[in-house]
Every structure is written in C-alpha cells, then in structure tokens.
Structure 1
Amino acid sequence: MIPSVNDDLSADIEIKKQPSLTYEIKIDKNKMGTYVEGIEAIKQSIYHIINTERYQHLIYSWNYGIELSDLFGKPITYCYPEIKRRITEALLQDDRIESLDSFEFDYSKGDVLVKFRAITTEGEIEIEKVVKIG
C-alpha cells in the first residue's frame, strides 16, 4: 500500500514559462545589441548551435554544438544523411525547437549547402548552413 501525503504546499504552485531573453548579436556589424526574445532569440540560438563545434570549447556543455569537422574528406553519399542526423540531434537539445524538416542539399566544390526548416514554439524558421567536406 502506498501512503498518501496531504501536502498543501503543492496546491499553490503556479509554473510560469520564462522569457527567452538574450543579448542580440549583430554578426554582420560585429557588435552586441539590445535584448531579443521570441523567434529572434531562437534564430540566434540556432545560429550558435550549428556554428559551434561540439567538444572543442570548454565553456560549453558536451550537449551543446554540432560535430561536423570529422566529415571532411568523407564521400558525399555518407555526408548527406549524416549532416541531417547531426543537425537534428544538435538542435533538438533546445526545448523551443519542436522538429526539423524540408532538408535540401547542394554540393559544390567541397562545400555542402544545407537548407532546412525548423518548427519552433514561436513559428517556423528557414535555415541555411554551409558544411565543408572537401
């Protein structure tokens, strides 16, 4: 028999979603801006995750970033599904990103251009990433 607990404290707890405020990074101007939130904060998070090589920076958790450097020199038939898997694995660590779809690949001179769509809690985002494999 499982004992029942009469706990009055849990009845008054209200869970609120915290805003995803973060400093805006203006990459093209090489400076920081004001705060951004919502879909702009998620876009910035996606940019940082897919441009940070996993296990290379001590300040980040081992769950943060993506592993792409070991794809250099591998056959294109191996790289396409592996890039898709690794991008999906890296981005789904963020609980604001619900799913990824519409992956498209284009190979040119040792670079793979990947285009895909992220479905987030705030809406859909179209993303492009260039992966060097040759």
Structure 2
Amino acid sequence: MALTPSNSNYDVFDPTLIRKEPSYTFRVRYEDDYKLLDMCDDIEAMKQAIYKIINTPRYKYLIYSWDYGIELEDLIGEAIPYVYALIEQRIKEALLHDDRITDVYDFEFSNNEGSVLCIFTCDTIYGVISNISKEINV
C-alpha cells in the first residue's frame, strides 16, 4: 500500500524539513593577495560575503548570476550629489539579494578628488555589521 497523506503519519508539507545552507566557508585575507587562512562561519562569513558583493561588478563574470554584484561603472564622471543618491540605492539593491541580509542603512558619504567614500551598516541573520566601507572612483 502506498503512503498518502490520508493513510500515513507524514504531512505533505513539513516545514521542519526546510533548512538554510550553512555559511561555513574559507576565511580569506583580501589585503594579502587573497590568501586563504582557515574556515569561518556566521558573522565573519557574512563580512566576506558583503565584501565580495560590493566589489564584484554585476554582469561581468559568467560564473555569477545576474543578481550578484553591483553596478558602479556608469557613475564615473557624474556629479557628486547624483553619485551619493545612486550609490545608496545600488548598494542596497546588491546586498538585499542575499537572503541572509535583512537591512542596509546608516549611509554616510565623503568625497576626495576623484573618489567617494561610503560607510554603512548591515543587519544580517547573524547580527549587525557596522562600518562597512566602499570607495568608488568617480
């Protein structure tokens, strides 16, 4: 006799069977020519994921989906107030595609000759990550 919902002890949909994949990954030291150190998880893995997302140009690499990365190349040569507005929007759009990131906020901007520095905060399912920075050459 085949097991069906009417003659078994099993539910058709059991939400306890759905699980998120772990964030366990290699720890990379980016300032040291991408040296692999050991393994990391949770908040440390999220810091790396955020770094990768905001430093990967969208649509440039075939190995990434079109939802991965950020679009910044078209901001070169634009007025600084325009760049400020678009950077915030594009960082949020890029990061919120990751279901582990729940909010991106507290944007602060400054600019030097030819570059804009953006500092912001992310809420993740593992905790808050503050003082994330991204410098964009304009």
What's the CA shift string for 1:45-95, capped at 9, x where partnerless?
000000000011111110000000110001112111100000000000111
Is structure 2 residue 120 aligned with structure 1 residue 116?
A: yes
Counterpart pick for 2:49 among 45, 50, 58: 45
Name 2:136's counterpart in structure 1: 131
Residue 34 of structure 1 aligns to a residue whose secondary structure is strand
Q: Show the counterpart of 1:22.
A: 25
Which residue of 2 is the match for residue 59 of structure 1? 63
Q: How far did 1:11 drift? A: 6.0
Which AA in structure 1 matches 2:37? G
Moved over 4 A (4+): none
What is the count of residue pairs matched by the alignment?
Answer: 129
Equivalent positions of 1:97-116 (< 5 A) are: 97-116=101-120
**C-alpha distance in structure 2 between counterparts of 1:11 and 1:60, whole Å:** 32
TM-score (norm 1): 0.89
Partner of 1:87: 91
User: What is the rounded CA distance, in whole Å, between the counterparts of 1:20 and 1:111 in structure 2?
Assistant: 33
Distance 2:63 2:127 in 1: 30
Runs of 5+ unmatched residues, structure 2: none
Question: Could you tell me how far apart the structure 2 residues matched to 1:22 and 1:43 are?
Answer: 12
Partners of 2:15 and 2:96 lie apart in 1 by 28
Distance in structure 1 (CA, Å) of the matches to 2:24 and 2:59: 26
Give the CA RMSD over aligned residues. Answer: 1.7
Q: CA deviation at 1:16?
A: 3.2
Percent sequence identity is 46
Looking at structure 1, the residues matched to 49 and 133 of structure 2 have their Cα atoms a distance apart, in angstroms, of 14
Deviation of residue 33 (structure 1)? 1.9
* Equivalent position amino acid for 1:110 in 2: G
Report the secondary structure of 2:46's partner residue: helix
Q: Report the CA distance shift for 1:11/1:97 in structure 2 as closer, same or farther (over 3 A).
A: closer
